[in-house]
Structure 1
Amino acid sequence: MRSNTATATATATRRRNLRFAAAALTVAASLSLTACNGDDVTGQGDPSAASSSSSSGGGSEQSGSGSGGSEQGGGKDSAGQSSGGQGADAGTAAGSGTGSSESGQVAKCRTDALDISASDSTIDGDDEGSVAVQMTNVGGKDCVMSGFAGVDLKTSEGSLSAERSGQAAARMVLKDGKSVFFSISYPMNDSGGSGVGVTGLVVTPPGETKSYTMDWPGAATLPVTDGSGSPVKVLPLGSAGQGGAS
């Protein structure tokens, strides 16, 4: 009798344990399923996050384009991109135009860019002596000049400035490597006296303050004058008979 009772008790205990185990398995399975579903939800969220990140990147680009548009007064991104592009083109064209205008201007001829020489051009039988001055452009680029050059003679009595004679030359472009000429006229010393000795020639190109000094190629002396005016005359550019720039 006791044996049957013990057996029944053991059987009941095993059934309860099996029920508890089954319940535990059910709970564990439920938790596992919940965890899996949670993972799936998280996995689905990643593409959304990636899409959001991509949209943010595009927004940055549009923001950059839109900035150009807002400079032009545009409010929409598409208008901003269009206006921004047009603004860039307009800016480039304006810059190029300005550059072309500035590079198209020809600077005046500087003393340092000129090779200046002088030679006696007196013709036998003339009442006056003549010196031809040649100015050659050696600056490597074209330059412009007009008017008169400054001329001074170094004499035994001091510096003697030449007076301008005739009409000033019009503005001319002196091409690189080309020359322009002008004349200096002076009275011959036929007085029979020693006169005023001439030792040098100083030429200042038109519009310049820097001078070029060289030997005087003309007659060695000038007649003594009463000082009422300079006997030496400087003629305009192109007046030496060579037809101007050559």
Structure 2
Amino acid sequence: MKSKLTAVALAAVVVAGTAAAAVPASAAPAAPEPARCHTADLKAGFAMGDDAKPEMEQADKQTQAFIWFTNQSKRTCTLSGFAGVDMVGAQETDGTWSLARSSKKPVKMTLKPGDTVDFSINLLPVAGSTPQKEKFVPAKFLVTPPNETEHFTLKWPFGGQILKQDGATHPATYLNPIGM
């Protein structure tokens, strides 16, 4: 009788062990999704390549400037949405202009350490002969990553001036989401 109980107990252990080993991989717990990127995780700047520089000398159509974020942390993180962008003017009458957002839908971007993503700003340059009250002369940009409160201060390196539409509901100068 003792050997029968031992055999049944041994069979139960073998079956239990087999059942534990047979758990499909899809039922295994998923790795946690990366946390969002914080300002301290990133560095930022204007894209300076020839194909990335805005055409500030032309005044008859929109052009684009690009700002990049690079993940300088040792962890993977995500960015999604719109950066906050305030242009600070060089003229006494310019003040600060908080850029409106486009209607494009943001996507989540995953940045491994060292990865870079950018976003574009549509600009409407004007001729130098435009009256001062109708033009905004950018001096620096205050750029805040999505869902953050700390910003980067970037000096505007491209010169030129932009049609002043800081009170317009649909200005020709606006920003696009991260990754677009």
Same fold at TM > 0.5: yes
What is the total number of aligned residue pairs between the two structures? Answer: 139
Q: In percent, how many aligned pairs have the same letter? A: 29
Q: 1:198 aligns with which of 138, 141, 160?
A: 138
State the Cα distance separating 1:107 from its structure 2 match. 1.3
Matched letter for residue 141 of structure 1: R
Higher helix share: 1
The alpha-carbon distance between structure 1 residues 224 and 191, as it changes in their structure 2 partners (threshold 3 A), is farther
| CA offset digits 1:190-234 (Å, max 9, x no partner) | 362243221101111011111111101334322344833444200
8 Å CA contact retained: 1:202, 1:212: yes
8 Å CA contact retained: 1:199, 1:220: no
2:39 matched to 1:130? Answer: no
Gaps of 5+ in 1: 1-99, 240-246
Q: 1:210 aligns with which of 126, 144, 150?
A: 150
Which structure exhibits the higher relative contact order, with contacts defined as CA atoms closer than 8 Å and separated by 6 or more residues? 2
* Aligned residue number for residue 186 of structure 1: 123
Gaps of 5+ in 2: 1-28
Higher strand share: 2
Q: 1:158 aligns with which of 95, 116, 138?
A: 95
The alpha-carbon distance between structure 1 residues 226 and 178, as it changes in their structure 2 partners (threshold 3 A), is closer
The alpha-carbon distance between structure 1 residues 188 and 140, as it changes in their structure 2 partners (threshold 3 A), is same
Distance, in Å, in 1 between the alignment partners of 2:86 and 2:173 is 9
Distance, in Å, in 2 between the alignment partners of 1:168 and 1:112 is 25
3-state DSSP class of the match of 1:112? Answer: helix
* Aligned residue number for residue 35 of structure 2: 107
3-state DSSP class of the match of 2:137? Answer: strand
Q: CA RMSD in A?
A: 2.4
* Aligned residue number for residue 148 of structure 1: 82
Distance, in Å, in 2 between the alignment partners of 1:111 and 1:203 is 10
TM value normalised by structure 2: 0.68
* Aligned residue number for residue 177 of structure 2: 236
Distance, in Å, in 2 between the alignment partners of 1:109 and 1:142 is 8
Distance, in Å, in 2 between the alignment partners of 1:150 and 1:227 is 17
Distance, in Å, in 1 between the alignment partners of 2:98 and 2:37 is 22
State the Cα distance separating 1:105 from its structure 2 match. 3.6
| CA offset digits 1:6-38 (Å, max 9, x no partner) | xxxxxxxxxxxxxxxxxxxxxxxxxxxxxxxxx
| CA offset digits 1:134-166 (Å, max 9, x no partner) | 100001110011111111100132110111113
Distance, in Å, in 1 between the alignment partners of 2:128 and 2:143 is 28
Distance, in Å, in 1 between the alignment partners of 2:101 and 2:121 is 9
